[in-house]
Amino acid sequence: MTAEPMLTVNGLAKTFVLHTQNGVRLPVFANVDFSVAAGQCLALTGPSGAGKSTLLRSLYANYLPSDGQIMVRHRGRMLDLASAEPRQQLEVRRETIGFVSQFLRVIPRIPAEVIVAEAAIAGGASPEDALAAARELLRRLNLPERLWSVPPATFSGGEQQRVNIARGLIRPFPVLLLDEPTASLDPVNRRGAVDLILAAKAAGAAVVAICHDEDVRAEIADMTFDVSSYKAAA
């Protein structure tokens, strides 16, 4: 069976140029090619500093690639996210690509359940449905109910991470980018998160994940991609 590719990366490269440091160039990776189909999970591997997060952020248009294409199936056709206009990139983020970052960027004063629900509202859900779905997810991720109405600024790392996962998975994004989704979770909560990721895959999501935990990686990933072997020449 050959599922259609959801995300295809061609010749992707990233070099940071630090103008405030006399224009020093920091090459991260070059000539990166891979493709992920619906229902597949690709795990990015390599030691710290290999550029896994930089690659993942590039796939979300959060970093600007120096070269190459990021072809994503958006509204039924392949669109190059790397060269798309900001307005199209926003549309892709709204409809096609979800991102679970390593850390929650806390917004002052907003309760955890609302942060999660907002992601569903952005996708067109009614506020009532969104809040119900948010609570259901937080329940499945074992976040204590007394925390739902509290802004997550004071939460522990693991609690914030579950809010982050819930926010990223509340909608059935066709492409999911996960940066260490289970890193700060204990075994019970890790189980809940892994089950949600597997469910997203089963529902047809193409997943690219960074995940140091080998057990989790073995369970969710169908293939691996070692970023350190694509080190760009300085």
Partner 1 sequence: MTRSEPLMEAAGVGHIYAGGQVGCEDVSFRLYPGEVLGIVGESGSGKSTLLSCLAGALEPSSGQVKFDVGRQGLRDVFQLSEPERRLLMRTEWGIVRQNPRDGLRMSVSAGGNVGERLMAVGERHYGQIRDQALDWLGRVEIAADRVDHLPRTFSGGMQQRVQIARILVSRPRLVFMDEPTGGLDVSVQARLLDLLRGLVRDLGVAAVVVTHDLAVVRLLSDRLMVMRHGRVVEHGLTDRVLDDPQHPYSQLLVSSVLQA
Asked whether position 100 contacts partner 1 by CB under 8 A, the answer is no
**Which residues does 56 contact at the CB level (< 8 Å), separation at least 6?**
44, 99, 177, 179, 208, 210
- Binding mask 105-124 toward partner 1 (x if CB under 8 A, else -) reads --xxxx-------x--x--x
Strand partners, 209: 43, 178
Interaction residues for partner 1, span 45-84 (CB under 8 A): 57, 61-64
Asked whether position 91 contacts partner 1 by CB under 8 A, the answer is yes
d(CA 165, CA 176): 11
> Contact, 137 vs 116, CB < 8 A?
yes
Stretch that binds partner 1, among 2-10, 85-93, 195-203, 213-221 (CB under 8 A): 85-93
Question: With CB under 8 A, what is the number of residues at the site for partner 1?
Answer: 24
- Classified as helix, coil or strand, 185 is coil
Asked whether position 18 contacts partner 1 by CB under 8 A, the answer is yes
Angle at 181 between CA 49 and CA 187, to 5 degrees: 115
Q: How far is the CB of 181 from partner 1 (least distance, A)?
A: 19
Q: How far is the CB of 149 from partner 1 (least distance, A)?
A: 15
Listing DSSP states for 38-92 in one string gives TT-EEEEE-STTSSHHHHHHHHTTSS--SEEEEEEEETTEEEETTTS-HHHHHHH
Cβ closest to partner 1, residue 95 vs residue 213:
95
Which of 1, 19, 187, 234 contacts partner 1 by CB under 8 A? 19
Which of 24, 90, 203, 218 contacts partner 1 by CB under 8 A? 90
Q: How far is the CB of 151 from partner 1 (least distance, A)?
A: 10
Q: How far is the CB of 13 from partner 1 (least distance, A)?
A: 14
d(CA 32, CA 68): 8
* 134's tokens: 């948010």
Binding site for partner 1 (CB under 8 A): 16-20, 57, 61-64, 86-87, 89-91, 94-95, 107-110, 118, 121, 124
